[in-house]
Every structure is written in structure tokens, then in C-alpha cells.
Structure 1
Amino acid sequence: MKRFGRFVGIALVLVAAALAARNCFSHDLVVRLADLREVSFEQMMGDLRRVAVIYVGEVHDNPDHHVLQLRIIRELHRAGIPLAIGMEMFAAESQQDLDRWVAGKTDRAAFQRIYRSSWNLPWSLYGDILLFARDKRIPLIGLNVPRDVSQKVARQGFASLTEDERRELPPNITCDVDESYMAMIRRSYSSHGASANTFRNFCEAQMLWNKSMAYHLLEYIRKNPGRTVVVITGGGHAIRGGMPVQVDRERPGLTSRVVLPDPVIHDGRITAEDADYLWLSH
């Protein structure tokens, strides 16, 4: 599939036209990728309210992306939609800690320590989302695998895991992706400064995250079919070829949308095969 087309140039033209027309630097610009048309944030939300899963990508350390994620969550909650929030930032083994936080049984200082043991970026980036979930009693879902497991796969490959380490993981993780998603993994790999002879391990670690997060998401949906899940994850996992395609293979017909804030895919081009909406702030 030709995922990476010429959209970036078109998007920049749309941005320039929108700015000139409004003479305004705080306007949301949302592009619906199916037809490359600018739509309002409210129009996008009207579409998102109709689906079961919404993947909202991010560059982890970009505060604007987390503002967008919280805004989408707030609007869905305001519309009365039963929600859950799936997070790459927590492993599935943290679920009890997440449940206690949402139930108000863990104070902020204690939960911040749990957060820091799970994710190495500042609390300030995700704190408003986590506090909103607690205040509104919105379930949080730990989607990821333990950090030491993913790091071991990145260093030594999936085959290096012990039987105990594999017990809660999808079987036979391999670097089996299409050409366009492989190109994105290679770009990400080069930005990590890793050596070429460990690329396969790096790719297997990415697929381990995609497949494991898809598995834990589907397990939650199976037990809680009435809730819409907003998935918060890096752009490389949120893009259709990442986590969503793994979900689609296991649960065909499950309705979903992908929202990507720009830029989440460095040096890449985004088309309708990658996402449904592109959000640009300026």
C-alpha cells in the first residue's frame, strides 16, 4: 500500500490558507484525510462519538499533543459517552494501581511515584489527563508490557525471553510488517542512534508493544463492551499500520478512528491509509 503520499505539502497549503483567511493564530486546523478537507473540531468530534476505539497519537514530550488528548476525552465525557482511557505509559501489570487511583484510594503523591516507576517523562505532561480520569471516575487501562521485558527484546530479540516472560505475551513476535510501516520503523530506529546489526531486535520490540497493547485493549473491550476507549500512545503505535491493524486482525469490524497531531511521524507523509484526522496547531 502507498501509505506515505504527498499530503504534508497539501497540509501546509491548507494551513497557510486558513491563517490568511482568519488572521488568527489560535485556530484549530483539522484535516479529514479521506478527502483532504478542513473540518471543524466539532465535526471531528461528531464522528468520533460514533466509534468504539479512538487512537490519539503523540510525540511523548510535546505538551500540545496531551492538551489535544485531554480535549477529546473531555468532549466525549461531556457528551455522556461511557469512557475508558488506554495508556501506553502503564503496563498491564499496573492495573490494580490504576484502579485504585481512579477509585480515589491512592493519593496524588503515591500515584506520582507509581507513574515515575512506569514512565520516564515528567508527570506534568500526563497529570491533567490522569487527574481528570480520577475526578470523573473514568477507567484507566494499562496496555503495555513490563519495561524490562521490552528492553530485553530490544537488546536481544524476542527469542531471548524465558518461558515465564512469555507467559502473558502474544506468541511468536516477529518483524512482519508492510513496506511503509517498515520504513517508519527504520526512521525511528535511526533516530535512536542504534547500530544497524540490532535493527531486527528493535523492530521486534515495536511489534511486541503493538501486539501486546492490542491484546490488552481487546481484553478490556471484551469485558466492558459498552465503553468507548481512547487510546493514548506514541504516533508510531497509533498509526494504522501499528496497533490498529493488530486490533483489526483480531476483531474485524470493530469501529475505530485514528487522530494524529502534527508532527508525529518525523520525515514521513500521512495519508488516509494511516489516519482519519490530522490536527495542526499554530
Structure 2
Amino acid sequence: MRTVLLLLCLFAVAFRPDKPAYRLYGPDLKTKTYAKLVRQATDADVVLFGELHNNPICHWLELQLTKDLQSAKNGALVLGAEMFEADNQTALNDFVQGRTTSKELAAQARLWPNFDTDYSPIVNFAREQKIPFIATNVPRKYATLVARKGLAALDTLPAEAKKQMAPLPLTVDLTLPGYKAMLDMMESHGGSNPSTQTTTTDTKASSPAANFARAQAIKDATMAYFIVQNLKAGQTLLHVNGDYHSKNFDGIVWYLRQQRPDLKIVTLSSVEMADIDKPTVEGTKLADFILAIPADMTKTY
């Protein structure tokens, strides 16, 4: 009898009644529901969905949240994404408003390699529902310029180019957790770490590591700028971005707070875990919602 009971217990441990693809938790790692996420997102001005770019659960949940917010907001929804750069706004508008085909969008915009599998479902839904879709990111050539030469290099750009990014001069606080972590990582590989500096130019603490962090900051600041510029009272803007750009209430969130401290912001951070029923994360308060995904989840690329 004991042997039978032991086998039953082992069977119960090894085989659960279901295999959830994700769990949602709060910053205190207490369980939250998807319904709670939709309610809080509906009441927010801005929702920042921090994704893992190659994770199918992130992309699927982004689509579900988009559909449910469109219904809950009764049309007062705006979409935005890191995956579209500001100088591709016209191409994105033309597609979403039904003036061009998907083939023309691919020819006119710099789409990510995983666009067809991961982002086209949301863009196509926006097209079907006539939802405004904002290309929020700085053109990559300008972020690359900052990474190579520092923020001061942006001052040499023509006025038309400067319209595609956050207003200059840009304040970058290298002591913010995300940028400091980036500097620390690069320092461990032989770079210097000027993370105690706060600067609006590259006259202080200019180094490859610092400029790399500043390139990240021009992306964060630009995304925040175009979010604010395209948000009207009563709307919710759902923004999709890499988790690094908004976790720890940092990055985009920090720049949003500089412009509009009154905004109601909801953040979601995606984390892969060995056991999503026993959540563990490094540090605390990653986001309002933590999307826990099995570490062995298949990838889209």
C-alpha cells in the first residue's frame, strides 16, 4: 500500500493537470490575472509591454491585449512600437489606413526580420480596426551615430533629421539602473565605467561604453517623446518594446515622467523562468506585471 501511495505521489509531482504557457505576477511576485491586466491597462494612459523579441508567448499576449483593449476602450486605443522607426511613419500610416499592400510596406519600411511571424498580426489588426499606429523609435542610423561619436554628433544633423528624435539637447542620466547595468557589463569586458556622471553632451565621461548607453537613451527618449506627442485625453497607448527599454520602471518610463509626470503608466516585464509556478527574479519591482514564461518555451527565431 505504501508503495502504491508513493508512486501516486511521484506521479502527481511529475505530471501536473495542465501545462500553462505563462503566469502573471505583481512586483511582489503575488499572482495576478489577465483580467486584472486588462482592467489596469484600460484605465492607463500608457501601457508599456516589455517583450522578449523571439518569444511567441509575448507576441501572442500582445495581440490578445490589443484586441481586448480595442473592445474595452471603444476605439480610443493607439498603438506604438519600438520595431518601427520615426522616418517610416508615412509607410506605416499608408498600410494601416489601407492605401498600400503588405508587399509595399515591406518595400517602403525597414521591417524587422521577424515581422511576418511576430508583428504582422498586430499591424494587420490595426489595419482592420483603423487603429492609429505610431512609429516611435529613432532611426537606427542616428542611434548608431551616437554609439560611435556621442550625443554631440546629433547637433550636426539637419533640422529635418532632428524631427525624427527627441528634442535636443538630451539629458542622459547614466546612473539609472538600466544604463548603469549596461556600463557595468561593458566594464567587465574591458571598458571604462563613468556611470556616476549625468550629462547632456559628450564633453564628460566620453567612452565607447558610455556612448553605447547614450545610444540606448536616445532610443528611450525618442520613444517616450512620440508616445506623448500622439496621446490624447481619454486614450490608451499600448506600446510594444524590448523588455530592457522599460523594466525596473526605467528607460522609456523615466523619459515619460520627465515630460508628463501625471501620466498613468502600466508596465509589463517578460521573464523566462525554470518554474513559472515558483517565480524568482533578480531584484524587485521589475514592473506592474511580470509575465513569467517557461524557460524552455520555443522561440520564433
TM range (shorter): 0.7 to 0.9
Bigger mean CA offset, 118-127 vs 77-86: 118-127
Distance 1:187 1:70 in 2: 35
1:214 aligns with 2:224: yes
Rg larger for: 2
Distance 2:182 2:142 in 1: 19
Aligned to 2:208: 198
Give the counterpart of 1:277 among 282, 289, 300. Answer: 289
Aligned to 1:5: none
1:36 aligns with 2:29: yes
Measured against aligned partners, the alpha-carbon deviations of 1:17-53 in whole angstroms (never above 9, x if no partner) come to xx999632125411011x4310221122122211111
Distance 2:97 2:187 in 1: 42
Distance 1:205 1:122 in 2: 23
Change (3 A) 1:106 1:260: same
1:77 aligns with 2:70: yes
Aligned to 2:242: 234
Aligned to 1:246: 255
AA matched with 1:183: K
Percent identity over paired residues: 27
* Helix, strand or coil at the partner of 1:202: helix
TM-score, length of structure 2 as denominator length: 0.76
* Helix, strand or coil at the partner of 1:119: coil
Higher helix share: 1
Contact 2:21/2:57 (8 A) holds in 1? no
Aligned to 2:182: 185
Distance 1:194 1:257 in 2: 37
Distance 1:138 1:171 in 2: 30
Contact 1:175/1:200 (8 A) holds in 2? no
AA matched with 1:238: S
Distance 2:184 2:53 in 1: 17
Distance 1:280 1:136 in 2: 30
AA matched with 1:142: A
Q: Which has the higher contact order (CA 8 A, sep 6+)?
A: 1
* Helix, strand or coil at the partner of 1:24: coil
Bigger mean CA offset, 175-184 vs 230-239: 175-184
Aligned to 1:96: 90
Measured against aligned partners, the alpha-carbon deviations of 1:178-206 in whole angstroms (never above 9, x if no partner) come to 35223332367589x89655101101101
* Count of residue pairs brought into register by the alignment: 256
Distance 1:188 1:113 in 2: 37
Distance 1:158 1:200 in 2: 10
